[in-house]
Amino acid sequence: MPSPADEAARRRTFAIISHPDAGKTTLTEKFLLYGGALTSEAGAVKARSGRRSATSDWMALEQQRGISITSTVLQFPYRDCVVNLLDTPGHRDFSEDTYRVLAAADAAVMVLDAAKGIEPQTLKLFDVCRQREMPLLTFVNKWDRPGREPLELLDEIEQQIGLVVTPVTWPVGIAGDFRGVIDRRDGSFTRYTRVARGATEAPEEIVDPERAADEEGEAWAAAHDDITLLDEVGADLDLELFLGAQSTPAFFGSALTNFGVRKLLDAVVDLVPAPRARDDAEGKPRDLDAPFSGFVFKVQANMDPSHRDRIAFLRVCSGRFERGMVITHGPTGKPFATKYAHQVFGSERETLEEAYPGDVVGLVNATEVRVGDTLWLDEAVEYPAIPSFAPEHFSVARVRDTGKFKQFRKGISQLDEEGVVQVLRDADQGDSAPVLAAVGPMQFDVAVYRLENEFGAPVELSPTSYRIARRTDRPSAEALRGMRGVRVLERADGTLMALFESQYWLERLERDSPELVLERLVAEGGAG
Ligand code: G4P
């Protein structure tokens, strides 16, 4: 039997991130198409998510808004590897979920729209990846449509993101007149042919340079000029810089017409690092062949109303996971039976028999399991906590019908545990009017919807004028409570948070009262 380390070496675990509408869903579908995981026509991801909404009540919200709230984990074989694609939620605003999913990935593919380049969401996501030192591949999508100059796009990425861009493929034909790509690693030219709706793989032909020059004329000459320039500045793929998150290999393509999709998927297999021994909370790496262990990066309740349960998504870090084994839930030390381990594709579950480092296991009935928890077999281990993002939006929640207060309280604490929103309480007001804190306002929509539809507690949210949160301690909290323009609240885990209305006020306070403890929350990104 292959060892866990052997199996890990075949795993590629990554996420696709993008500004909404750049083409993440389409690219995901096309990866499945090229991975042979789609037997029917492309579009199954959307179709599946449509079905999912039909079977799940709170996910009707997804359908209403045409977005995907739950992250899905897609696994498919490609070449001699097993690819795990972690789908990040497609919110218009950044949410904590995205960050948690990235904590479970070994690399990310950033999708850009060729006509738009770097968009606000992209910038924030890039920042997060850089903080995590996560290797990043860039896919410039929609080259079949009019867009910008390729060199100008690369320049923008370098300027705004501060990463060296190393184009691996280069388009022949301007955006909107896409013929194919030159692979800068060997100079080969792949020419594509469009098929209707991109429903099947795009036929490709390797064309030698003389013929290409003859047949593609101007387009070929222009691409060649660009490449000569790139060669001169030495913008070549550098594996070490890529793995150190200092450079990003770039690929041009069109997810819609499938042009360049195979090149990108091949690059995922060739470049994305296989899972490595993960450091525990003390910084000691856990050997891949050590007994099973993993950490939870997402908890999702009531994914399916006919189950009314709670699934914890765990990334395997070491050893072999076998369904049925009894593992230990790190924080409580309690045994956890894995009889109902699943692989989850959207909300469609398949029983999972075994998993290896890099894979994701959906643990059903995970009542006591929280995001960040470690589960292990035989040899105890604890992985570092997933840092929570600094919230930037704060709203007071009140139940509309006081007769539903019990349901309200239950719902709030459930959402808090799942990490849908952060719940902050005022020591004086108790549970009646908690402040919900979020990284993106979309989190509030989900919370309100679920409180009403799942817990039967319609709520009213009143926005507050607070914008910035800092962690503080008890003595500082006492001092802050008497001050204007600041409010001190407490999280369920005991963390004290000081909320400020303006950066200006906070800075003044920091200057005037340097003795106060006002720590930034980790992973504040560019938003701080
Ligand atoms: P997202 O998940 O990042 O939000 O983006 P999604 O894949 O849903 O794509 C957003 C829109 O862009 C879709 O059009 C999709 O068809 C289109 N698109 C994606 N990739 C390409 C591409 O390579 N070229 C072109 N021309 N279009 C692309 P839509 O009209 O919103 O939806 P649909 O009716 O086509 O499904």
Contacts by 100-103, CB closer than 8 A, 24 or more apart: 100/297, 100/298, 100/371, 100/386, 100/419, 101/15, 101/71, 101/297, 101/298, 102/15, 102/17, 102/128, 102/129, 102/132, 102/134, 103/132, 103/297, 103/386
Ligand 1 centroid distance, CA of 201 (Å): 17
Ligand 1 centroid distance, CA of 183 (Å): 25
Are the C-beta atoms of residues 355 and 342 closer than 8 Å to each other?
no
Structure tokens given for 117: 């380049």
Nearest atom (ligand 1) to Cα of 20: 4
Instruction: Report angle CA 404, 407, 411 to the nearest 5 degrees.
Output: 135
Pairing of strands 107-113, 73-78: unpaired
Nearest Cα neighbor of 138 from 235, 43, 278 is: 235
Nearest Cα neighbor of 190 from 80, 139, 264 is: 264
Which of 18, 26, 116 best tests ligand 1's pocket when mutated (most atoms within 8 Å of CB)? 26
Protein residue with its CA nearest to atom 31 in ligand 1: 21
Ligand 1 centroid distance, CA of 417 (Å): 34
Ligand 1 centroid distance, CA of 373 (Å): 36
pLDDT score, position 69 = 40
CA distance 142 to 120: 18
Query: Edge-to-edge, what's the strand order for the sheet holding 293-301?
Result: 334-337, 326-329, 374-376, 293-301, 310-318, 360-363, 341-345, 348-351
Nearest atom (ligand 1) to Cα of 29: 7
pLDDT score, position 357 = 98
User: What angle do helix axes 261-271 and 24-34 make, rounded to 10 degrees?
Assistant: 80
Fold (topology level) of 278-376? Rossmann fold (3.40.50)
Are the C-beta atoms of residues 136 and 106 closer than 8 Å to each other?
no
Ligand 1 centroid distance, CA of 21 (Å): 6
Ligand 1 centroid distance, CA of 255 (Å): 8
DSSP secondary structure string for all residues of 69-122: -S--EEEEEETTEEEEEEEPP--SS--HHHHHHHHT-SEEEEEEETTTBS-HHH
Structure tokens given for 258: 């499938």
CA torsion angle for 81, 82, 88, 89 (degrees, to 10)?
140
Number of CB atoms found within 10 A of residue 346's CB:
24
Structure tokens given for 174: 């301007």
Q: Which residues contact 240 (CB under 8 A, 6 or more apart)?
A: none
Residue 49, φ and ψ in degrees, nearest 5: -65, -30
Protein residue with its CA nearest to atom 33 in ligand 1: 26
Nearest Cα neighbor of 391 from 412, 413, 427, 420 is: 420
Ligand 1 centroid distance, CA of 130 (Å): 27
Q: Which amino acid is at 160?
A: Q
Are the C-beta atoms of residues 79 and 269 closer than 8 Å to each other?
yes
pLDDT score, position 52 = 35
Q: What residues flank ligand 1, with Cβ below 6 Å?
A: 18, 20-26, 90, 141-142, 144-145, 254-256
Q: Cα–Cα distances in Å, from 70 out to 320, 407, 511?
A: 26, 23, 42
What is the value of pTM for the model shown? 0.84
Are the C-beta atoms of residues 314 and 298 closer than 8 Å to each other?
no
Nearest atom (ligand 1) to Cα of 145: 26
Fold (topology level) of 16-67+106-271? Rossmann fold (3.40.50)
- Enumerate the CATH 3.40.50.300 domain ranges in the chain, comma separated: 16-67+106-271, 278-376
Are the C-beta atoms of residues 277 and 293 closer than 8 Å to each other?
no
Ligand 1 centroid distance, CA of 362 (Å): 29
3-state secondary structure of 458: coil
Are the C-beta atoms of residues 199 and 29 closer than 8 Å to each other?
no
Nearest atom (ligand 1) to Cα of 26: 7
Fold (topology level) of 393-512? Alpha-Beta Plaits (3.30.70)
Number of CB atoms found within 10 A of residue 76's CB:
17
Nearest atom (ligand 1) to Cα of 46: 36
Nearest Cα neighbor of 2 from 395, 371, 372, 288 is: 288
Ligand 1 centroid distance, CA of 65 (Å): 16
- Which ranges constitute the DSSP H helices of 260-319? 261-271
Structure tokens given for 355: 């998993």
CA distance 459 to 98: 26
Q: Cα–Cα distances in Å, from 499 out to 313, 427, 475, 505, 519?
A: 32, 14, 16, 11, 12
pLDDT score, position 146 = 95
Nearest atom (ligand 1) to Cα of 68: 2
Query: From the first residue on, what is the mean pLDDT of each consecutive set of 10 residues in the chain (528 residues)?
Result: 96 91 89 75 42 38 43 81 83 69 93 92 79 92 96 92 93 95 96 87 93 95 95 92 94 96 97 97 97 92 62 93 94 90 62 90 84 96 86 94 94 87 85 90 87 92 94 94 90 91 91 91 45
Question: In three state form, how does the secondary structure of 139-156 look?
Answer: EEECCCCCCCCHHHHHHH
Ligand 1 centroid distance, CA of 262 (Å): 18
Ligand 1 centroid distance, CA of 328 (Å): 43
Ligand 1 centroid distance, CA of 142 (Å): 8
Nearest atom (ligand 1) to Cα of 257: 23
Are the C-beta atoms of residues 443 and 95 closer than 8 Å to each other?
yes
Which of 62, 256, 259 best tests ligand 1's pocket when mutated (most atoms within 8 Å of CB)? 256
CA distance 454 to 411: 8
Contacts by 118-122, CB closer than 8 A, 24 or more apart: 118/156, 118/157, 118/160, 118/161, 119/19, 119/22, 120/19, 121/18, 121/19, 121/20, 121/92, 121/93, 121/94, 122/17, 122/18, 122/19, 122/22
Ligand 1 centroid distance, CA of 273 (Å): 29
Protein residue with its CA nearest to atom 11 in ligand 1: 21
Which of 17, 18, 19, 21 best tests ligand 1's pocket when mutated (most atoms within 8 Å of CB)? 21
Nearest atom (ligand 1) to Cα of 27: 7
3-state secondary structure of 13: strand
Nearest atom (ligand 1) to Cα of 43: 36
The 3-state DSSP composition of the chain as helix, strand, coil percent (nearest 5) reads 30, 30, 40
Question: Residue for token digits 């570092």?
Answer: 384
3-state secondary structure of 292: coil
Q: Which amino acid is at 266?
A: D
CA distance 475 to 117: 48
- Enumerate the CATH 3.30.70.3280 domain ranges in the chain, comma separated: 393-512
Q: How many residues does the structure list for the chain?
A: 528
Nearest atom (ligand 1) to Cα of 19: 3
